[in-house]
Structure 1
Amino acid sequence: MDLAHPVRLFKYPEALAAALEQDGPPDVIGFSHYIWNSQLSLAFAELVKRRFPVTTVVFGGPQYPLRLPEQTDFWHERLTGKVDFYVEGEGEAAFSDLLLTLNDFDRKEVRGTIPGAHNFHDDGVLYAPPPRLRIHYLSTVPSPYLAGLMDEFFDGKLVPTVQTNRGCPFKCTFCQEGTRYFQTVAKKHDRQIRDELHYIGRRMKSLVEFGAARNELLITDSNFGMFPEDHETCRVIAECQQLYGWPRVVNVTTGKNQRDRVLSAVAEVRGAISLSGAVQSLDPDVLSRIARKNIDAGKLMEIALAASEAGAGTYSEVILALPGDSKAKHLGTLRQLVDAGFDRLNMFQLTLLPGSEMCTDAYRREHGLVTKWRVMPRCYGAFNVLGEELRTAELDEVCVTVPDMPYEDYRECRVMNLLLASLYNGGTFAVLLAVLRAHWISPMRWLELARTLAHGPALATVLKEFAAETDGQLWDDRADLLTYATEHTDEYVAGRLGNNLLYTYRTRIISEALEDTADLAARACLTALREIGVGAGGGSLIEALVRESAEYHRLVLSDIFRTDPPEVLRQTARFDLDELLATARRREDVRLRDQRNFQHSEPGVREFVLTPAQQRTLSTYLEQFGTTPWGVGRLLTKVRLPDIVRQVRMTPGPGTAPAPAGTGTPTT
């Protein structure tokens, strides 16, 4: 091997295929190996090894079992004949050691002498030395941005990604970083972070100005904001926002403890970072089984209450079908989170990651995990490489049954997850939520009614198809699904199969069943109010407010995914909904419960418009993701809903005519 040969990085499979065609066999080719590119990397590796036997193929990444017996099986089942070495643990130093060794020795002579470099030798033995010691100071690793290695990837499609620290002090069994190896947190010097962010910002500036790129930054830290150094990182991000107009949104998981420190850091980039309260579950038994005892769930809940002061949105994460879970426990967690006031709940199915404790055979047996296989959304394709067609699809293993959650309960929870994502997340029906909360009604009661009340035909169709596709995407046998997926790659690429169901069906609800959904939201709200004796007579002022509010939110969402300029929509305004929401933010529940405080003396007119800036933002994302429900569903995970929904403006007209102070009474 000649170390003088240039090093190249590849993100796109097509670019790697072109390089192999043009340049011939590389000395060494290394593949990252994650859940989202495992089969793709294996397909390339198999072809490279078959066509270029002299090339050394190296894999590295977390998609690798923890225990030696399972690692041996993994080599037999997936790696043998395709991969020469697998780097376990951190890759930078171990991979460098391997390259230096291969410069002096033939790869067949390397048998377990390099920490972390596993290889299955011709003698039938898996040589698996322990991982190399962790890197204690991340700045010892040169920055690929500052070295210019990432310049070609500023193409308007990819999102710049940085890491300011690595490791996690928590021990969650479902996470690869929950293992002992990653318990220590290694940090990067603040000067290198500053240089990287400004380097990126200078290159993003023109792309963002012309609407040619997503105005985002991804930080891959596991607990951002929890460490003192993160405060300085946020100040640098704020500098970049002022100098370059980038980033508008910072996607990052904020810290699970140290609430005040997290809030202080996030306040530096007001509104760019959403505070996360990733509880996964709030049931004590479930938390104990997944080793989250050292995470203060109560403090996570407090994040929602303090977020408005930091100028940040909030979201929490919940995983369905964790060990010890049940339908009641899952719905109970959702209730506590919406009652705490989180803006958005991200709901996931439990995926078993090979590098996690939960994926081991012993853990599965102990907790009674029953799993199925599915194709991962967006992780499939067909590629021409060295004159051959490679068809690949990535699969993940999801838990669908635990002892106290039969599959039917799992299915019902998924439907509730969809309704919550569609009606609650992002303040889709914010005025209705404000009214409910003012009367001490949990939003979960409203969502439960939305699930059980009669649905209009368009909404009923969407929900029925969601339930059917939930069943249809799950397979018992991994090999059978892999064969099917590679034979039907075109259908997956076209968006007819393999979609993220929550994202896709949320989009379908907005685009295909919006009228039914707004009507259901209003009826469920009125039913919940009547259950406590409010508006029981029908035709009341509060009913007029609820109906107008539901229609208001329908118009805000109408036709927002059209690529051509949509028409201006109008509504008669009998209530001042902006003032109502401002009153809710001030927590003035007594005033909020009297609808006369928000009634216009004479009706006005609202206009609902999409601004040119919003249309440019939408065009940028739709061009990249497409206009299918699947593509738009992805869009909704990348932009904030308030940034793309219609703006509301009132025509000049009368103000409100509130009741005299002290005379208002709730309408019942």
Structure 2
Amino acid sequence: MADRLSRRRELFERAADTAPRPARDPYLFPVMAALVPVATSRGGEVAYPGDPMCLYSALSLTIERSVNRLAHGLPAQPSLDDVAADWGHYPDDAYRRAEDGPRSVLVADSRTTDGHVFDPRIWDDVARTAFITELRALRPKVLLLSSVSAGHRYALEMAELAKEYAPGCLVIVGGRHADETVRYRDATGTADLSWSSTVEVIRDGRARPVVDFVVAGDGSPLLDLLLRAVALVMPPGPGPTPVREVLDALAPVAAHDGTTRGAGNIVGLTADDAVLVPVRGERIDAAQLPSPYEAFSVRARFGIFTRAGSSPLGSRTAHVMTLDACPFKCTFCSESIQVSQRPTRFAVSETEHVARRIERLVDWGTEAAFFDDPVFWGGNWKAITDFCHELARLRARRPELGSFEWGAQLTVDVVLNRAKAQEVHAALDLMRENGCTYVYIGIESMAQRVMRNVGKNLLRRNPEAWVSKVREALGTIRDHGIRVGSSVLFGLDGENRETIEETIEEIGRLIDDGLLVMASPNILTYHPGTAITAAHGQDRLDYHSRKDNRPPYTYFEEAYPEVVSRLLDEDDIWFIHEVSAKRWGSTRNSAAESATPVGA
């Protein structure tokens, strides 16, 4: 390895000496990351909300390495990290406090890590033109695309544009779609690639070969490993980096530090085949990773938080996660532990660490936080209580935090845990006293025949009818002085027009009784890997064709005709859209007032 690193340094030195214009640092190569949108219209459609935390988290280690390399310069002796992605410098505090809303500076002109993300939220002609402008100006050697399944069709188009306008650019795709569609069975040593995966879509010719790598699993350590392997074999100048050479470099790079971290799969798409490289390293916990906001400004605003009074759009809101997978096993959920098999989380003993991160976010201009865990602290009431005590100590030391507010996601049965009723009530009081003003709960349906099949965490010690439980849980939270919003999901097993009408009416009654301040109607869309997708025989989900979407599907996030529940026809979807709007009134969220933090 030492000889190889010496030769590489000489190669880059010679290239720098003969370059027509001196580079800022000839060993650093241009790179850009992009959040792939899921929406195609700027009116009547819900854009994917909030700051792109999946992308921010995945970038955290590679950016940390790049920033350290830039700050310390080239080491005296040849090093594996001589050549690195040029992410720029971390933003200073003044930048963080000033920069929210949409980014206005080209990646090529930005010297901050925050400026290296393209985040359009909508994919239309305006966004396409802006993306092409970015590619022409920067000419990235590597483009990183983070995509959920509903955005996969746009990820493929963005990859095509990168190949056209930045020749030689390596395209790497990750995010939830990759996690849902790429598996490796350790017991048999075989790959399990969904028909909907980027790999299979390209391999069988449904899409052009415009993606070079797919990363699934623990994104941050795996992406760091992959980019170090890319840097090891990358030639200086504008030429392409061979995928096969990158694949061959993964093992020596992983062995270089003696310890491999993270678990997942890296797939390289060569001209001849797809090569899957399983990575089985040490488990990495959330506390071992930099804060996702270490490299980025908080840009989202959430209309449900208004205490700061800084904008009609709501308070400047950070997304925070203590757990990125749900401990429960709902049949429809792509965040279930059954799909996200090895979650990244904070230990329940690390509440002080999370409180310190909140303090740092406030120093950077954050006015509110939404805990986007599928279930706040995994539904562990002791951890929730300990966290609130940490916040109390923080607020006592920093009285200026008095206006800071936050919200979190809970479930009906977590709130109605009879065995811990006293602890639950005490914790809800602590939450309110320490800034919690909002709780979001997935109601899904108010029809008992539907909820019977969902597999939601229906505790045997709490067997009451679902409608009664929902009403009691919402009343419990409200009685502790905390507002409640909810999501409603149509198209689950057992759904028909009668159950749709029942749910719309029962949610309306909850609103009438002041138990809900917001209700979000959603249409079930199939995700690769979920139980309901398998049960309905939907093993060939078209998340790659670029067909124009249309109403009524565009009124619901991630809904396309090819992937919505087979139990709903178009008349049902029109009915849900129109009748829920009439019955729920202004409490129903829309494209203009989203259920979760809305990014610019």
Q: TM-score, normalised by structure 1?
A: 0.51
Match of 1:461 in 2: none
1:152-301 equivalences under 5 Å are: 159-178=317-336, 180-182=338-340, 186-188=344-346, 189-204=350-365, 215-224=367-376, 226-227=379-380, 228-237=382-391, 239=394, 243-245=399-401, 249-259=405-415, 260=421, 263-270=425-432, 272-292=436-456, 294=458, 297=466, 299-301=469-471
User: Quick one: which of 134, 138, 145 aligns to 2:286?
Assistant: 138
Q: Shift of residue 331 of structure 1?
A: 3.0
User: Quick one: which of 85, 88, 91 aligns to 2:213?
Assistant: 85
Q: Shift of residue 139 of structure 1?
A: 0.8
- How many angstroms apart in 1 are the aligned matches of 2:282 and 2:413? 23
Q: Shift of residue 88 of structure 1?
A: 1.2
Partner amino acid, structure 1, of 2:336:
G
Match of 1:16 in 2: 107
Specify the SS of the correspondent of 2:549: strand
User: Quick one: which of 262, 279, 296 aligns to 1:150?
Assistant: 296
Question: Do 1:373 and 1:396's aligned partners in 2 also have CA atoms closer than 8 Å?
Answer: no
Q: Shift of residue 33 of structure 1?
A: 1.4
Match of 1:511 in 2: none
Identify if the C-alpha distance between structure 1 residues 182 and 273 changes in structure 2 by more than 3 Å, giving closer, same or farther.
farther
Specify the SS of the correspondent of 1:160: strand
**1:49 matches 2:222:** no
Specify the SS of the correspondent of 2:376: coil
User: Quick one: which of 70, 75, 81 aligns to 2:202?
Assistant: 75
Q: Shift of residue 345 of structure 1?
A: 5.2
Question: Do 1:283 and 1:329's aligned partners in 2 also have CA atoms closer than 8 Å?
Answer: yes
**1:102 matches 2:250:** no
- How many angstroms apart in 1 are the aligned matches of 2:300 and 2:500? 41
Question: Do 2:159 and 2:211's aligned partners in 1 also have CA atoms closer than 8 Å?
Answer: yes
Partner amino acid, structure 2, of 1:83:
V
Identify if the C-alpha distance between structure 1 residues 150 and 338 changes in structure 2 by more than 3 Å, giving closer, same or farther.
same
Q: Shift of residue 194 of structure 1?
A: 2.0
Q: Shift of residue 246 of structure 1?
A: 6.5
User: Quick one: which of 352, 363, 370 aligns to 2:525?
Assistant: 352
**1:307 matches 2:477:** yes
Deviations 1:284-332 (CA, angstroms, capped at 9, x unpaired): 5433544326466565542122123321122332112223201222333
- How many angstroms apart in 2 are the aligned matches of 1:319 and 1:244? 40
1:599-610 equivalences under 5 Å are: none
Q: Shift of residue 86 of structure 1?
A: 1.1
Question: Do 2:407 and 2:439's aligned partners in 1 also have CA atoms closer than 8 Å?
Answer: no
- How many angstroms apart in 2 are the aligned matches of 1:247 and 1:80? 51
Question: Do 1:216 and 1:249's aligned partners in 2 also have CA atoms closer than 8 Å?
Answer: yes
Number of aligned residue pairs: give it.
407
Q: Shift of residue 420 of structure 1?
A: 2.8
Match of 1:363 in 2: 536
Name which structure has the greater RCO, CA cutoff 8 Å, separation 6+: 2
Identify if the C-alpha distance between structure 1 residues 159 and 277 changes in structure 2 by more than 3 Å, giving closer, same or farther.
closer
Match of 1:499 in 2: none
Deviations 1:52-85 (CA, angstroms, capped at 9, x unpaired): 3333221110124535141244335676433211
- How many angstroms apart in 2 are the aligned matches of 1:404 and 1:56? 41
Identify if the C-alpha distance between structure 1 residues 329 and 61 changes in structure 2 by more than 3 Å, giving closer, same or farther.
same
Match of 1:116 in 2: 265
Identify if the C-alpha distance between structure 1 residues 351 and 75 changes in structure 2 by more than 3 Å, giving closer, same or farther.
farther
- How many angstroms apart in 1 are the aligned matches of 2:296 and 2:157? 25
Q: Shift of residue 373 of structure 1?
A: 7.2
Q: Shift of residue 166 of structure 1?
A: 2.3
Give ranges in structure 2 of 5+ residues lacking alignment.
1-28, 30-81, 92-101, 111-133, 182-191, 234-241, 252-263, 302-309, 416-420
Q: TM-score, normalised by structure 2?
A: 0.56
Question: Do 2:300 and 2:597's aligned partners in 1 also have CA atoms closer than 8 Å?
Answer: no
Identify if the C-alpha distance between structure 1 residues 36 and 404 changes in structure 2 by more than 3 Å, giving closer, same or farther.
closer
Match of 1:321 in 2: 491
Question: Do 1:167 and 1:177's aligned partners in 2 also have CA atoms closer than 8 Å?
Answer: yes
Question: Do 2:489 and 2:524's aligned partners in 1 also have CA atoms closer than 8 Å?
Answer: no
Q: Shift of residue 130 of structure 1?
A: 5.2
Question: Do 2:443 and 2:486's aligned partners in 1 also have CA atoms closer than 8 Å?
Answer: yes
Partner amino acid, structure 1, of 2:267:
H
Identify if the C-alpha distance between structure 1 residues 237 and 54 changes in structure 2 by more than 3 Å, giving closer, same or farther.
farther
- How many angstroms apart in 2 are the aligned matches of 1:22 and 1:51? 6
Identify if the C-alpha distance between structure 1 residues 152 and 200 changes in structure 2 by more than 3 Å, giving closer, same or farther.
closer
Identify if the C-alpha distance between structure 1 residues 110 and 401 changes in structure 2 by more than 3 Å, giving closer, same or farther.
closer
Q: Shift of residue 6 of structure 1?
A: 3.3
Q: Shift of residue 178 of structure 1?
A: 2.0
Identify, as 1 or 2, the structure richer in helix: 1
Match of 1:416 in 2: 579
Q: What is the RMSD computed on CA atoms of the aligned residues?
A: 4.5
Identify if the C-alpha distance between structure 1 residues 255 and 93 changes in structure 2 by more than 3 Å, giving closer, same or farther.
farther
